[in-house]
Amino acid sequence: MTDFLHPQLDDAELGRISALGLAHIGDGVYEIMTRSYLVCQGMQTARGLHAKTVALVRASSQFRAAQLILPLLSEAEADVFRHGRNAKPKTIPKAASHSEYAYATALETLFGWLYLRREYDRLNQLYTVISQDFPEILAKK
């Protein structure tokens, strides 16, 4: 593989990646989308960008995001989401409940799966729904 930004995996290769492996990729995809959102909103200071990024990518915010998109998922997407939700990570951050972390992992698993399937339009559709909730999350920060 030489294009690490746009990996090309067939269905068999994608099927061999664990839910936590997909979540690992999805975590990065979700964070880069969040950073892009904030920069394009006109955030200027590094401190402000970091604080708002952390607020939007933490497990409690991703739990909220998952609740927003769950009704919009196709059957295949819902299966991937459930697979991620049922994954068994070794540790859970102190700031997150078990349920929040399970849903955050599920969201990241879905985003990783969509990214590796090159479904960029679908990622943007789901992220647009999620980002509509950001002003409320950031107001509570």
Which residue numbers are catalytic? Answer: 27
Q: Which ranges constitute the DSSP H helices of the chain? A: 11-15, 19-40, 46-57, 59-69, 75-85, 98-116, 120-131, 134-140
- What's the N-to-C CA distance of the chain in angstroms? 41
Distances 54 to 22, 34, 51, 57, 87 between C-alpha atoms, Å:
21, 10, 5, 5, 23
Handedness of CA 79, 82, 86, 60 (dihedral sign): positive
